[in-house]
């Protein structure tokens, strides 16, 4: 079940809180963020060029937009971001539940191009169950919350057919992953049930991805691994990584068979050269292309 796979580091930079790796098929490039540093990174695997842009607030998650630029979950709301010089940011929506000391966290689009993201209290030590899950459509409507009472909403993913939604709470006091029936026509999740209890498994559940077999890949934060669970919730693979705190994984590349994993460097020993690194590996499976945000999806 445990497997060693060669990894390649992307650049020498170390992220304080690396998150949201994202393959842009139109550009043939990878993006990810450093939440604490308020930075968006870009890597072109063809040229090897690495660039970065700074934002006015923390960016926790990104999705490409169907026209250009990105939609992002930030501190004060959901924003449209264009990486021009200077960076242009436009607030799209702010939920009423997004109070002081909070921000958006993990997020991605469903298969129809609606953007989903959850909010959290930034000071995890407070263990405040203020986290809520929202949906933003191309018609400019922010809907929800669909799930409330979370500590750290994370692990958002959608099955290949778009009819199952996955969501986790990655706080040490929770460590649960749920599955929902998902109606692709109206974008409403229902029948929440436990998919994985992560307490018996290594690490806390963090960011996730889906492969073509419908298996759920999730970072084992604090355990230095990524774990693959079958659609019935059985662990069938573990890949050990050189960093202790992997934060999110995402499939991409021209064949969608490369897995990029971000990690957290904050609070790790200075001598740990892999802490905060962003890496690539080939796990031997193919992922599902991320759907860009669709400004026609209600």
Q: What is the reported pLDDT for 84?
A: 86
Q: What is the reported pLDDT for 1?
A: 63
| Residue 4 pLDDT grade (very low, low, confident, very high; cuts 50, 70, 90) | confident
210-216 own/partner pairs: CB under 8 Å, 24+ apart: 210/157, 210/158, 210/159, 210/160, 210/166, 210/287, 210/288, 211/251, 211/285, 211/286, 211/287, 211/288, 212/160, 212/285, 212/286, 212/287, 212/288, 213/285, 214/159, 214/160, 215/285, 216/157, 216/166, 216/177
Instruction: Indicate if the pLDDT at residue 196 is higher than 80.
Output: yes
Q: Which CATH class is domain 2-281?
A: mainly beta
Residue 20 burial class via C-beta count within 10 angstroms: exposed 0-12, middle 13-18, buried 19 and up? buried
Angle at 204 between CA 182 and CA 63, to 5 degrees: 50
Query: What is the percent of the chain with per-residue pLDDT over 70, rounded to a whole number?
Result: 99
What is the distance between the alpha carbons of residues 53 and 297, in angstroms, rounded to a whole number? Answer: 28
53: CB partners within 8 A, 6+ apart: 39, 40, 42, 83, 87
Question: Average of pLDDT values for 206-220?
Answer: 98
Query: What is the percent of the chain with per-residue pLDDT over 90, rounded to a whole number?
Result: 92
64: CB partners within 8 A, 6+ apart: 22, 24, 26, 70, 290, 292, 293
Selection from 156, 265, 257, 261 nearest residue 216 by Cα? 156
Token pair recorded at residue 257? 């068979």
What is the distance between the alpha carbons of residues 107 and 130, in angstroms, rounded to a whole number? Answer: 17
Residue 216 pairs in a beta bridge with: 210, 229
**Taking the CB of residue 230, how many other CB atoms lie within 10 A of it?**
13
Active site residues: 206
What is the distance between the alpha carbons of residues 81 and 252, in angstroms, rounded to a whole number? Answer: 21
Instruction: Indicate if the pLDDT at residue 2 is higher than 80.
Output: no
Q: Is the pTM of this model over 0.85?
A: yes
86: CB partners within 8 A, 6+ apart: none
| Residue 296 pLDDT grade (very low, low, confident, very high; cuts 50, 70, 90) | confident
Strands 2-3 and 235-240: parallel
Strands 235-240 and 246-252: unpaired
Q: Answer yes or no: are the C-beta atoms of 242 and 224 closer than 8 Å.
A: yes
């Amino acid at each position: 079940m445990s497997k060693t796979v060669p990894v390649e580091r992307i650049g020498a930079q170390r992220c304080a809180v690396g998150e949201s790796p994202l393959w842009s098929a139109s550009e043939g490039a990878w993006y990810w963020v450093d939440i604490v540093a308020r930075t968006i990174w870009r890597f072109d695997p063809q040229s090897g060029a690495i660039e970065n842009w700074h934002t006015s607030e923390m960016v926790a998650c990104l999705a490409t937009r169907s026209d250009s630029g990105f939609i992002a979950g930030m501190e004060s709301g959901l924003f449209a971001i264009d990486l021009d010089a200077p960076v242009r940011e436009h607030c799209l929506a702010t939920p009423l539940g997004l109070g002081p000391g909070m921000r958006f966290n993990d997020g991605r689009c469903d298969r129809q191009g609606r953007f989903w993201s959850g909010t959290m209290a930034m000071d995890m030590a407070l263990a405040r169950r203020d986290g809520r899950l929202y949906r933003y459509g191309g018609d400019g409507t922010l809907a929800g919350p669909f799930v409330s009472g979370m500590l750290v909403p994370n692990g958002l993913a959608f099955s290949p057919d778009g009819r199952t939604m996955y969501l986790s709470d990655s706080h040490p006091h929770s460590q649960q992953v749920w599955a929902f029936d998902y109606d692709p026509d109206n974008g409403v999740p229902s029948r929440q049930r436990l998919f994985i209890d992560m307490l018996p498994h290594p690490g806390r559940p963090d960011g996730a991805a889906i492969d073509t077999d419908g298996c759920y890949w999730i970072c084992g934060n604090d355990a230095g691994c990524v774990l693959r669970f079958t659609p019935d919730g059985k662990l069938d693979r573990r890949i050990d990584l050189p960093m202790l705190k992997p934060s999110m994984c995402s499939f991409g590349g021209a064949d969608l068979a490369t897995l990029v994993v971000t990690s957290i460097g904050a609070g790790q020993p200075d001598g740990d050269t892999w802490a905060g690194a962003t890496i690539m590996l080939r796990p031997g499976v193919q992922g599902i292309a991320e759907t860009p945000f669709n400004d026609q999806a209600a």
